[in-house]
Amino acid sequence: MTFTVCVFLVTVFCTIMCEVRHVL
């Protein structure tokens, strides 16, 4: 797995978590 893919996945994960927290 490349560094760019890792950064992308982390960004997506953080965004989803932020959205979930905002909704809850």
Rounded-to-integer distance, Cα 9 and Cα 3, Å: 10
pLDDT at residue 5, rounded to an integer: 97
Tell me what pLDDT residue 23 has: 84
Q: pTM of the predicted model, to two decimals?
A: 0.57
User: In the prediction, which pLDDT does 14 show?
Assistant: 97
Query: What is the rounded CA–CA span in Å between residue 8 and residue 21?
Result: 20
Residues 5-24: tens digit of each pLDDT: 999 999 999 999 999 998 87
pLDDT, position 22? 85
**Given this model, what pLDDT does residue 13 score?**
98
